[in-house]
Structures are given as structure tokens and as C-alpha cells.
Amino acid sequence: MKSIFHLCFYFSFFTSLFFSCKTESQNPNQRIFTDYVSRTVSISIENEDLLGKKRWSGSGFLISKDGFVLTCAHVIGNYQKKLVVRLGGNGKRYLGKVISSDFKKDISLVALETDDTFNFFDLNEKGKAERGQTYYSISSPLGLEESFTSGIVSDPVRVGVDSIVSEISFLQVNQSILPGSSGAALFDVRGNLIGMAQFQLKNSEYNQQGVGFAILPKYLSEFLSSVSLTKFSKEEIQRGIVEVPTITDFLVQNLNLPTREGVLISYLVEKSPAEVSGLKRYDLIVEINGKKIRSNEELNSFFKEVAHSERLQIKVIRNRSEKVLYINP
């Protein structure tokens, strides 16, 4: 009888231990963090050095497999150098550069300088928040990378929060947006993006927690629709042409260029009008539509004045021979 009692006791003990461990291992919040942390980043604008201690001044999230990141424009400001971006999960660091910014709507697009592929949040899923639903976020509040938080959606479409652009609506949440968390993705339990953390309102008369607000996905999509998802800025691209900043003596000698006047093509955007026209890397552009092009400045001035619908006649020097090609709109 005693042995049966002991057997029942140990059976009950190990059964309860097994199920408690199983429950702990299946913690849904831990699963959510593990599934989505690799889609998030921390951002530093201290310097271009990848190594060493960093102060993570903002957050962001990946929106494509080839390394495009969205964050708030105020995180970066007018910083001109390359950013250091830390990937969530494995902590790997990359250099990134700003492709485009909309300071009115506080959105910036950053491209990571790498050929690696990434997990990302899909803006096309059109995640729509509901009042009272739980949201999740992984960010760097006060520089503490990979901080995992959750909260409740207070109002999915709050209008009139921003006095400057009063017509724009925001996602209101019950948690404050601390410094360093701006630019972080807010997503639901299925990983649908429902907003990008932006700012908080706080009554200065009281020492209390602020009310958090996030940019809605529709504004992020509108911003992206006006930007070419290429790792070159609008200033660097003209019909798909990326030019060499300066023609040096080294380039003249090694590429056998007949002159330093003109614009040397560094890169052609894949499937762009310039590539389709037959232009090649290291072609030297010397004339467009009969107008002499002696420098990058003259090329940029020309493209600012010419209509996007205009067909272009491009004269280039290739292997010391002149060629005429046409770029169609």
C-alpha cells in the first residue's frame, strides 16, 4: 500500500513538473519576440565606425528582404554621414544611408549596405488595429536594444493630435514612446504591422506617463509609393544612371579615358531606362540632346530642367570611340 502511495505521489509530481515546463516553454510572448526580433533594428548616428560601444538613439524595422529600413525622420535629422544599424536577434551591425525623408510626416527610408537577406514586416498586409487589442513592439528605449513591450490600442484613428498637420490621424496606445523607441514597429500577435512608434504627449504640470502615438501604415505606404526602392538616393539617380563623384587621374589612366570632362557612369540601375538604352558602366557621358556635359553639376542641372517624358539622345565615349544612344521615357 505504501509503495502504491509513493508511486502515485511521484507520478503526480513529475506529471505536474512536465506540464509546467511545457507551459513555460510555450510562453506565447516569448514566441512572439523570437519570431519578430530579427525584423527590428537599432540606429546610431554617432559615427561611421561599426565597432565599439554605441548609443542607440532610435529604432526601426525592415520592410524588404534586401535591407530597406523605415524609421522616424527625427531620429536621423539632418545627419549626413552613414548610420550604424544593429540587427535585432543576432546583433550584427551594418552601415546604412538615408535614401529619402519626409520631415512633415516624420518618415525616413534607410538602405543597409549589404547583400544579406532579411526577414521583414510586410506593409501590404494592411494591418488594421482595433480599440482594445494588444500590440507588441521591440525597440531601444533609452538606448536599451531589443526591449520587448506590449500594450493596448487606445484609439486606432486619433485625429487632431498634431497641431501643424491636424488632418493626419495617428494610432494612440496606452504606453508612452520613450526616447530611443521612435521608429519602432508596432505589430499584432500575427506580425501584422499596425503602426510606427513616433512620439508621446505628456502634461508638463504632472509627473506622469505620457500617451503614445504611432504613424499609421497607410502614411508609410504613401511615403514609399513616392520613393524608388533602390539603394541610391534621388540625387544619385538620373533615369537609372549613378555617376562617379569625381574623375581622378587614377580613373583616367586605368580606364584609358581621353579626357576628364564629362560624367563617368559608375552604376546602372537594373532594368532602368538607362540600362535598357544600352549604356554601360564606365561609359563617359559627354553630351545630351546636343548639350555639352562637362561635369556632374551640369548633368544634374540638365535633369532638373528636362521633362521626364522627353526622349534623350546621349553621346558617350566607350573604349575611346563615340557612341550615340537613346533613353526612352
Model confidence pLDDT, tens digit, residues 96-146? 999 889 998 999 999 999 989 999 998 865 567 999 999 999 999 999 999
Q: Please give the residue range of the domain that contains residue 137.
A: 123-225
Residues 162 and 87 both lie in one domain:
no
Assess whether 316 and 287 both reside in one domain. Answer: yes
pTM of the model: 0.68
Q: Indicate the residue among 112, 141, 167 that finishes a domain.
A: 112
- How confident is the model at residue 115, as a pLDDT? 87
The tally of CA atoms less than 13 A away on the side-chain side of residue 77 is 6
Measured CA to CA in angstroms, residue 200 lies from 5, 58, 85, 175, 272 at distances of 60, 15, 24, 9, 42
Residue 93: which H helix or E strand, with range?
strand 93-102
- Both 219 and 244 in one domain: the answer is no
Which pLDDT value is given to residue 187? 96
Dist. CA 200–CA 60, nearest whole Å: 17
Quick check: 97 and 150 in contact, CB under 8 A? no
Helix (H, G, I), strand (E, B) or coil at 321: strand
Provide the pLDDT for residue 46.
Answer: 85
What integer pLDDT is reported at residue 278 of this predicted model?
Answer: 95
- Taking 70 as the pLDDT cut, the residues of the chain under it are 1-26, 124-127, 163-166, 203-208, 228, 233-236
State residue 132's pLDDT score: 96
Three-state DSSP state, 315: strand
What gap in Å lies between CA 212 and CA 98, rounded to an integer? 26
If asked whether residues 218 and 271 sit together in one domain, one would say no
Q: Would 206 be classed as within a structural domain?
A: yes
Number of helices (H), then strands (E), belonging to the chain: the values are: 7, 19
* CATH code of the domain covering residue 69: 2.40.10.10
Given this model, what pLDDT does residue 180 score?
96
Q: What total of structural domains would you count in the chain?
A: 3
Residues 6 or more apart in contact with residue 183 via CB below 8 angstroms: 43, 58, 59, 60, 61, 70, 71, 72, 75, 139, 196, 197, 198
Residues 186 and 146 in one domain: yes
Do 155 and 189 sit in the same domain of this protein?
yes
Tell me, yes or no, whether 231 lies in a domain.
no
Q: Per the domain annotation, does 8 fall within a domain?
A: no
**What do you get for the CA distance between the two ends of the chain, in Å?**
92
**Where does a domain end: 112, 143, 164?**
112
The vertex-256 CA angle with 253 and 257, nearest 5°, equals 95
The answer to whether residue 196 is domain-embedded is yes
In a domain, 22, yes or no: no
100 domain-assigned: yes
Residue 96 maps to a domain: yes
| Same-domain status, 58 and 137 | no
Q: 112, 135, 170: which is the final residue of a domain? A: 112
